[in-house]
A and B are shown apart, each in its own frame.
Chain A
Amino acid sequence: MKYAAPTTIDEARTLLAGDADAIVFAGATDVVPQMRAGRPEPSMVIDLKKIDRLMSVSLDGDTWQVGAAAPSSALTSNAAFAADFPGLAEAAGLIGSDQIQNRSSLGGNLCNASPAADSVPALVVNDAVAVIAGADGERRVPVADVVTGPGQTSLAHDEIVVCFELARPAGRTSDAYLRLIPRTEMDIAVVGAGVRLTLDDSGSVSAASVALGAVAPTVVRVPAAEAALVGSSLDDASLAAAAAAASDACSPIDDKRGTISYRRQVAGVLTRRAAGIAADRIRTRNGQNGVS
């Protein structure tokens, strides 16, 4: 196996295009454990961390550009970013330990295409767009359209996710992400729920996004839960309707982490709680990431 560390996107793409068995990596926190578990070794591993644009996290006008290879810790330690997207920062801060968060990237979390990837529901509710470099230049794809199934993406072999574009939230908008794991740290989500809300001046919900992880082959948006929230004042009946819609949207698997009926129920509970947290953040505007 060869190791390559290109410093430009073009160079990385040329290496990838020239070798059908080459792969790109950022933190290798999925790549190395998969190789250890017996996945065939690639002919070449192409390190994306020497490419500046893939590592930078910056605010460009009203749009955050998050480099696809930037480590989670670059997001959790960026106070301005975490104030705009507390739920997304929270999700990045749930990935593994400090050791992992100093390597794990959003690009890797998305492209590894695990249904349980923690950052993906939080990216989806924030309408994040993946900027993808390919043979014909760059294309922009909603994050929700990148993963097509477990371990499968819509990327061509020689395409690379460069960065994520996230429009700064409008006034009175915030997000939250919650996941259930059997212990406090270092586990894979049984269910993950991302919610983003916008409240109008009277405190009613004027816009809502809900996305669930680990309950279907890909992360799922839940339009019925969004509809239950919009127009409401987050009263018990609306929250219960949103929770029921979230439970209904699940097509989970039964495994050692949770049964189908358990996952369905938890999806509803987390959706409801995450909506409450997002609303509290808007009301108090402290927007801080309170979970490590």
Chain B
Amino acid sequence: MSRTHVNCEVNGDAVDFLTEDGESLLNALRDELGLIGAKEGCGTGDCGACSVIMDGRLQCACLIFAPEADGASITTCEGLASADELHPLQQCFLEGAALQCGICTPGFLIAAKALLDENPDPTETEVRYALAGNLCRCTGYDKIVRSVLEAAVQIRTPA
């Protein structure tokens, strides 16, 4: 196995790590950088639990070879909250009971952030399509969709 030294920006911080070339970015985030928010649900692009935003685009970290991240800028769910305040999406998920076991939640939060970055005022249908790459075995999705719509309102009209 070859190893590569990767320099990138994660949640605004410059970081570097050494990785085996065939390793996924998901494992590098979790094992080298200790960012265990993104989860492996399937490892094959189907469930979205590993979702990250890399260079502005929502992607499955399980499908990214870790060396691809060299020079990239990455946002994970750990980058959503500020020092002492949750992101409106996180707050709305909490208040709207949009999670039960929570395994899928980091992926849904990041996919929802990618949507709202592009489209601050989505319809329910647009939310459902945007989250179609994220699977949840617990909630039945409805509370997730409602929480994303509520967060969109709060982000558009800050208190």
Contact = CB atoms under 8 A, between A and B. Distances in A.
Nearest to A71: B57
A97 B132 contact: yes
A36 interface: yes
A32 B129 contact: no
Contact of A2 (B2, B60, B115, B130): B2
Contacts of A100: 45, 60, 133
A184 B132 contact: yes
Interface stretch (B28-36, B61-69, B85-93, B137-145): B61-69
Contact of A29 (B21, B45, B65, B130): B45
Contacts of A45: 21-22, 65
A1 B129 contact: no
Interface string A98-116: 1110110000000000000
A103 B58 CA distance: 9
B2 A186 contact: no
Given A1-B22, A29-B63, A41-B22, A99 B44 contact: no
B4 interface: yes
B37 interface: no
Contacts of A47: 65, 68
Given A33-B44, A36-B44, A185-B129, A99 B65 contact: no
Contacts of A36: 43-44
A33 B24 CA distance: 12
Which of B24, B58, B63 counts the most chain A CB atoms within 10 A?
B63
B114 interface: yes
B78 interface: no
Given A33-B45, A99-B58, A3 B4 contact: yes
A66 to B, nearest CB: 18
User: For the complex, would chain B's binding face be called helix, strand, loop or mixed by DSSP majority?
Assistant: mixed
B103 interface: no
B68 A99 contact: no
Interface string B96-140: 000000000000000100110000000000000110111000000
Interface in B14-62: 20-22, 24, 43-46, 48, 51, 57-60, 62
A49 B59 CA distance: 15
Q: Which of A33, A71, A96, A99 has the most CB atoms of chain B within a 10 A radius of its CB? A: A99
B22 A99 contact: no
Contacts of B60: 99-100, 103
Contacts of B130: 98
A172 to B, nearest CB: 32
Contacts of B129: 185, 292
Contacts of A20: none
Nearest to B64: A28
Interface in A10-29: 27-29
B45 A99 contact: yes
A5 B68 contact: yes
A37 B43 CA distance: 10
B109 to A, nearest CB: 14
A32 B44 contact: yes
A229 B68 CA distance: 48
Contact of B63 (A2, A32, A186, A292): A32
Nearest to B134: A97
For the complex of A and B, the 5 pairs showing the least CB-CB separation, nearest first, are: A97-B133, A185-B132, A3-B21, A1-B22, A33-B44
29 contacts: A1-B21, A2-B21, A3-B21, A3-B65, A29-B45, A29-B63, A32-B24, A32-B45, A45-B22, A47-B65, A47-B68, A49-B68, A73-B57, A96-B45, A96-B133, A97-B133, A97-B134, A98-B133, A99-B59, A99-B111, A99-B133, A102-B57, A102-B59, A103-B59, A103-B60, A184-B132, A185-B132, A186-B46, A186-B133
